[in-house]
Amino acid sequence: MRLAILTGGGDCPGLNAVIRAVVRHSVKNYGSEVVGFLEGWRGPMDNMVMPLSLRSTESIINRGGTILRTSRTNPFNTEGGPERIMANMSSNGLDGLIAVGGEDTCGVANRMHKEHGLNVVCIPKTIDNDLSATDFTFGFDTAV
């Protein structure tokens, strides 16, 4: 299986830890290959891909921010944005996407799944702690 991960919205502590955990778990437990899309939803829309490996992610846990960078890009506000995402997922041979973000990022993920059939999982991250179906999100404790 070949997976991608992106980080959307604002920075908060823990993003690199999530990226590292996704890569470690996917590679060690499933033999999957993982790539990162840079700058939130802009990455899959503009095909901005970064290979991720056990080696490239082993020491990122001590770095602030996100090695994938982030943005508040919403592909539904760009003509043909969702279609470009689906085309780039296909051209990169990707089976699914892990989106790490808050209300906007997860909202786009949900819409991409419902309207375009994207295989996507959202990891909730927000300092606002305003996502339904979660008691706490990482990022919230650091803002309190």
Q: How many CB atoms lie within 10 A of CB 128?
A: 13
Whole-number pLDDT of residue 103: 85
Whole-number pLDDT of residue 113: 98
Domain boundaries 2-124, CATH class: alpha beta
Q: pTM to 2 decimals?
A: 0.90
Where are the chain's structural domains?
Answer: 2-124
Whole-number pLDDT of residue 131: 59
Return the bridge partners of 97, or none. Answer: 4, 120
Task: Quote the mean pLDDT of the chain.
Answer: 91
Residue 91 pLDDT more than 90?
yes
Strand order in the sheet with 120-124: 49-52, 33-37, 2-7, 96-101, 120-124
Whole-number pLDDT of residue 86: 99
pLDDT tens by residue, 23-53:
999 999 999 999 999 999 999 999 999 999 9
25: amino acid identity, one letter: H
Residue 134 pLDDT more than 90?
no
Whole-number pLDDT of residue 133: 64
E runs forming strands in 1-144? 2-7, 33-37, 49-52, 96-101, 120-124
Q: Is 135 a catalytic residue?
A: no
Mean pLDDT of 95-104: 94
Mean pLDDT of 138-143: 59
Residue of 95, 128, 130, 141 marked active site: 128
Percent helix, strand, coil in the chain (nearest 5)?
40, 20, 40
The closest of 104, 112, 119, 110 to 83, measured between CA atoms, is 112
The answer to which of 46-50, 57-61, 70-74, 122-126 has the lowest mean pLDDT is: 122-126
